[in-house]
Chains A and B, each alone.
Chain A
Amino acid sequence: MRVTNLLPDVQYQMQQSQQALATANQQLSTGLRVNQLSDDPAASANMVVSLAASASVDQYTSNVSSVLPRMQTADSAMSAIVTSLNSAITLGTSGASSSSVTANKQSIATQVQSILSSVISQANTSYNGVYVFGGSESTTPPFVAASTTYTSSQGSVANPLAATTALTAGSVTSISDATTGKTMTFKAQAGDTVATLQQAIASAAVAGTLSAGTTATINAKGQLSIATTNASQGIVVTSNDTSLGAMAADPNTAVANSYAYVGNSTVNSVQVGDSLNVATNIPGNQLLTSGANVIGSLTNLIAALQNGTESQIGTATNAVSSALNYVSQQRIPLDSTISQLNSQESYLSQEKITLTTQQTSLVGISLSTAATNVSQAQLTNSAVLAAAAKVLPQTLLDYLR
């Protein structure tokens, strides 16, 4: 073949070898084999999926870290409740003994009262501002001392509330009953009046959500008064209705040793794995006021110690024992969740390593390979340049002088 001009080929070869050198250099300096999508489209697409999986794993790990201490706090609180109940049983057993004199029983009752306060304080445990036993109502203490009567701040003799007074649409009025352990929540619709609320309360009393005898009336001062006739267990009323104003307990209507649950039954769960969700709370009503009612059993024990017979104290003590068993049972799923979270944490850290390895193999390049590629590209480039330097200046004219 007749060769006329070597330059175009030499230029092309130089360009190719310099391109290869630049690529090898970039791979070495970034540690990546795929620096742009076109370097390996399939790996890039897999990388998108893998990165999303990585982000999820990071998030699951962060969720575990944020949920675990809260669960541990709940567990500690339940452990403290168990200890308190054990003390109460010991005290109740001692109170039930025939040798115990009335003064002693009163003293024991006082001790059980302080145990109840301690249980309530544990039940109102919060972690980072979140009340762990409040259900999803986690920003306010879930157990509140109950009273027999609550009165609205709105309404006066001069300007009384009436059955026809309109309520604010969307406002929520809730009544938590310590007797039933349930909460009636009334959300006002457009057109609702005080009469609608009164009717709802009456219906709830019939349905058993509220104890019989819970009423809502307009008192002599023109205010809405919500009251229960049960003297031993009270209610807690809250409202954000502007027509009613804040509901406050009437002075001297507080019921001793009676606490109402103002949280809800919602169990929040948090995702800590692709298909693993864990419940992050035990609603306080499930734990302490339903089943073998913990608070109720302590309240009854106090009452029995104060006024009851030895047999009644014994029965009440047995009820506290049942409550203790119940709380211990409730701890089992919580403890199992804690251990699940711990093992999930290790699994996630392993998963993270797997994903990182996968990502490295998708788009990364080993240092040794990259370094070898660079030296190889350098060698090729030098060879091309050396060859160019040799062949380009050669011309017949050099020999014709």
Chain B
Amino acid sequence: MSLNTSLSIAVQSLNAAAGALQATNNNIANANTPGYTREVPILQASAPSTVGNNLSVGDGVDLVRYQSVRDELLQSQIQQETSSQSGANAQLSSLQQIQTVFTTSAQDIGTEMSALFTSISTLSTNPSSSSSRQAVLSAGQNLANAFNTVSKTLTAQQSGLNTQVTQDVSQINQLTKQIAALNPQITALKATGQDGGTLQDQQNQLVLSLSKLTTVSVVQSNDGITLTTGNGTPLVVGSKSYSLQTSTGSDGMTHVLDQSGADITSSLTGGNLGGSIQTRDTAISGMLTKLDTLANQFGSAMNAAQAAGYDQNGNAGQDFFTVSGTVTGSAATIKMAITDPTLVAASSDGSAGSNGNLSKLSAVQTTALASGQTPGNAYASLVYQVGSLTSNANAESTATTSSLNQLNDQLSSVSGVSIDEESANLIQYQQAYQAAARVVSVIQQLFSVTMSMGTAAAS
């Protein structure tokens, strides 16, 4: 074995140590980069060479490649959990805004409804009092306003969510384009036997961002990853991305269409988009139906009670509320039909001082509406629904956050950069480098001695 071979091994060793140092350096540099997967240098002993009489000796070290330490299963679980978390958060954010209009302490429907019946009861003690009659009208107006306000808040939330759907779809389209663009680059890298490295990290990070918007299914193929929505609508196949589109449906809501124009709105789940759609089309829609039904049936019941009596002028009672003919939109449009206090139909016999019909108006409070519930109970059940939906979204958000934390801990345990570990590696590779350099220095001295051997003999 020649000194040259030894020098060559030493230089290889220097290169390997420098390469390993570079990996460590890169790991440290990216310690806080989201989605970065730590890289480890793969060192391999060089094929041994034979010296002398069939003596086999190691031929140094090769830095074969850098390997990112991944766990695809964990990565996929994190993507799914991220979808669930974003979906829950989207619902929670909307519902938290909605539940404030259903408070039990301010000018909510329940309070105003009580106030209306209270004012009717006050009027019964002195049916001729114009101030008490005016109080009934004001309370009725306040209740109509409360219905209008809640309905307006709910529809405003729906419009806000429509905007959210449009924005989410546009972000999804951008992300799928970027993910598709990375597919051929990663495939090319892998074809050469290398690791996807930071490109794959980028792609994973983009898929994670996409998961925040909607649930996607990821399948590895020869052309890179294939992405589809939950119901199988393709988003990315190889280097090609398929854009989603939005359009306003006949119900006034923003719908999501796939590349071919088919409506896939109801099949989108998870993520901000899925959560927004679910809140808009299921939660808020359900609340609006209940609210409209209550407003419609309550208004009609009050009108029927008014019609059974006589106003202060002895005329048959007119409608108390103006109620829409159809249930849909009733809460938004309900308003007082009378503005003249004398038109409150307190009298049961046409005499101005009779209060006989007020008991019929009061009875609306305790009589079941067509829905089978009294107005108070119908409102209480709506309050329960809002509270329960919000509470469930909150619980899901907390649960998924906690679960996501654990998954991230696990992933970070596999793929994360530990500064302490890298510091130790740094020392390790530094020492390796120093040792290799020492070998070079020794060989240099040996060369020097060898070179001066002749010179010494000559002298």
Q: Which residues of A contact B (CB under 8 A)?
A: 1-5, 8-9, 12, 36-42, 44-49, 51-52, 55-56, 58-60, 62-63, 66-67, 128, 130, 134-139, 170, 172, 187, 264, 266, 268-271, 274, 277, 280, 363, 395-397, 400
Q: Name 13 interchain pairs, CB-CB below 8 A, sorted by A.
A: A8-B405, A36-B99, A38-B99, A38-B394, A40-B391, A55-B114, A66-B125, A170-B314, A266-B349, A268-B354, A270-B355, A271-B121, A271-B124
Residue of A whose beta carbon sits closest to that of B424: A396
Residues from chain B with a CB closer than 8 A to the CB of A39 are 387, 391
Q: A48-B110, A271-B362 in contact; A41/B379 too (CB < 8 A)?
A: no
Residues from chain A with a CB closer than 8 A to the CB of B31 are 5
Contact with A along B341-370 (1 / 0, CB 8 A): 000000111111111100100100110000
- Indicate if B447 sits at the interface (CB-CB under 8 A): no
Q: Which candidate, B76-84, B248-256, B278-286, B407-415, is the interface stretch facing chain A?
A: B407-415
What CA separation (Å) do A66 and B121 show in the bound complex? Answer: 11
**A4 CB contact (under 8 Å) in B110, B121, B387, B421:** B421
Q: A37-B386, A44-B383, A59-B122 in contact; A4/B418 too (CB < 8 A)?
A: yes
Q: A12-B405, A63-B125 in contact; A395/B419 too (CB < 8 A)?
A: yes
Residues from chain A with a CB closer than 8 A to the CB of B111 are 51, 55
- Indicate if B390 sits at the interface (CB-CB under 8 A): yes
Residues from chain B with a CB closer than 8 A to the CB of A47 are 104
**B124 CB contact (under 8 Å) in A52, A135, A268:** A268
- Indicate if B299 sits at the interface (CB-CB under 8 A): no
Residues from chain A with a CB closer than 8 A to the CB of B391 are 37-41
**B353 CB contact (under 8 Å) in A12, A62, A128, A134:** A134
What CA separation (Å) do A293 and B416 show in the bound complex? Answer: 104
The 7 closest A-B pairs by CB, nearest first: A41-B387, A37-B387, A4-B416, A38-B390, A136-B353, A45-B384, A55-B114
- Indicate if B49 sits at the interface (CB-CB under 8 A): no
What CA separation (Å) do A169 and B380 show in the bound complex? Answer: 47
- Indicate if B381 sits at the interface (CB-CB under 8 A): yes
Residues from chain B with a CB closer than 8 A to the CB of A44 are 102, 104, 383-384, 387
Q: A48-B110, A52-B113, A266-B353 in contact; A63/B380 too (CB < 8 A)?
A: no
Q: Which residues of B contact A (CB under 8 A)?
A: 31, 95-96, 99-100, 102-104, 110-111, 113-115, 117-118, 121-122, 124-128, 313-315, 347-356, 359, 362, 365-366, 376-377, 379-381, 383-388, 390-391, 394, 401, 405, 408-410, 412-414, 416-421, 423-424, 427
B79 to A: closest C-beta gap in Å: 17
**A400 CB contact (under 8 Å) in B110, B113, B427:** B427
Residues from chain B with a CB closer than 8 A to the CB of A395 are 419-420, 423
What CA separation (Å) do A42 and B418 show in the bound complex? Answer: 47
Q: Which of A37, A130, A264, A268 has the most CB of B within 10 A?
A: A37
Residues from chain B with a CB closer than 8 A to the CB of A266 are 348-349, 351, 353-354, 356
What CA separation (Å) do A48 and B108 show in the bound complex? Answer: 10
**B359 CB contact (under 8 Å) in A48, A58, A134, A271:** A271
What CA separation (Å) do A24 and B55 show in the bound complex? Answer: 77
Q: Which of A45, A62, A274, A396 has the most CB of B within 10 A?
A: A45
What CA separation (Å) do A68 and B92 show in the bound complex? Answer: 52
Beyond contacts A38-B394, A269-B359, A400-B423: 16 other A-B pairs, Cβ-Cβ < 8 A, are: A5-B416, A39-B387, A42-B387, A48-B379, A63-B124, A130-B353, A137-B352, A264-B351, A266-B351, A268-B127, A280-B125, A363-B104, A395-B420, A396-B420, A396-B423, A397-B423
Residue of B whose beta carbon sits closest to that of A32: B105
A315 to B: closest C-beta gap in Å: 37
Residues from chain B with a CB closer than 8 A to the CB of A37 are 99, 102-104, 383, 386-387, 390-391
A130 to B: closest C-beta gap in Å: 6
Q: Which of B362, B387, B416, B420 has the most CB of A within 10 A?
A: B387
**A8 CB contact (under 8 Å) in B103, B124, B349, B412:** B412
What CA separation (Å) do A367 and B102 show in the bound complex? Answer: 26
B401 to A: closest C-beta gap in Å: 8
Residue of B whose beta carbon sits closest to that of A13: B405
Contact A41 B388 (CB under 8 A): yes
**A38 CB contact (under 8 Å) in B104, B121, B387:** B387
What CA separation (Å) do A1 and B412 show in the bound complex? Answer: 10
**B351 CB contact (under 8 Å) in A8, A45, A136, A396:** A136
B419 to A: closest C-beta gap in Å: 6
The B interface, classified by DSSP as helix, strand, loop or mixed, is: helix
Residues from chain A with a CB closer than 8 A to the CB of B388 are 38, 41
Contact A52 B114 (CB under 8 A): yes
Residues from chain B with a CB closer than 8 A to the CB of A12 are 401, 405
Residue of B whose beta carbon sits closest to that of A131: B353
Residues from chain B with a CB closer than 8 A to the CB of A139 are 128, 352-353
What CA separation (Å) do A121 and B387 show in the bound complex? Answer: 61
What CA separation (Å) do A59 and B119 show in the bound complex? Answer: 8
Residues from chain B with a CB closer than 8 A to the CB of A9 are 405, 409
Contact A55 B115 (CB under 8 A): yes
A325 to B: closest C-beta gap in Å: 29
Residue of B whose beta carbon sits closest to that of A44: B387
What CA separation (Å) do A72 and B413 show in the bound complex? Answer: 84
Q: Which of B356, B384, B385, B416 has the most CB of A within 10 A?
A: B384
Contact B117 A59 (CB under 8 A): yes
Contact B409 A8 (CB under 8 A): yes
Q: Which of A48, A59, A395 has the most CB of B within 10 A?
A: A48
Residue of B whose beta carbon sits closest to that of A187: B314
Contact A5 B128 (CB under 8 A): no
Q: Which of B31, B111, B409, B419 has the most CB of A within 10 A?
A: B409
Contact A270 B104 (CB under 8 A): no
What CA separation (Å) do A138 and B114 show in the bound complex? Answer: 28
What CA separation (Å) do A4 and B396 show in the bound complex? Answer: 28
Contact A138 B353 (CB under 8 A): yes
Residues from chain A with a CB closer than 8 A to the CB of B385 are 41
Residues from chain A with a CB closer than 8 A to the CB of B379 are 48
Contact A137 B423 (CB under 8 A): no
Contact B127 A38 (CB under 8 A): no
Contact B315 A4 (CB under 8 A): no
What CA separation (Å) do A60 and B417 show in the bound complex? Answer: 71
Residues from chain B with a CB closer than 8 A to the CB of A187 are 314, 350
B3 to A: closest C-beta gap in Å: 36
Residues from chain B with a CB closer than 8 A to the CB of A45 are 380-381, 383-384, 387
A351 to B: closest C-beta gap in Å: 15
Contact B376 A49 (CB under 8 A): yes
Residues from chain A with a CB closer than 8 A to the CB of B125 are 63, 66-67, 270, 280
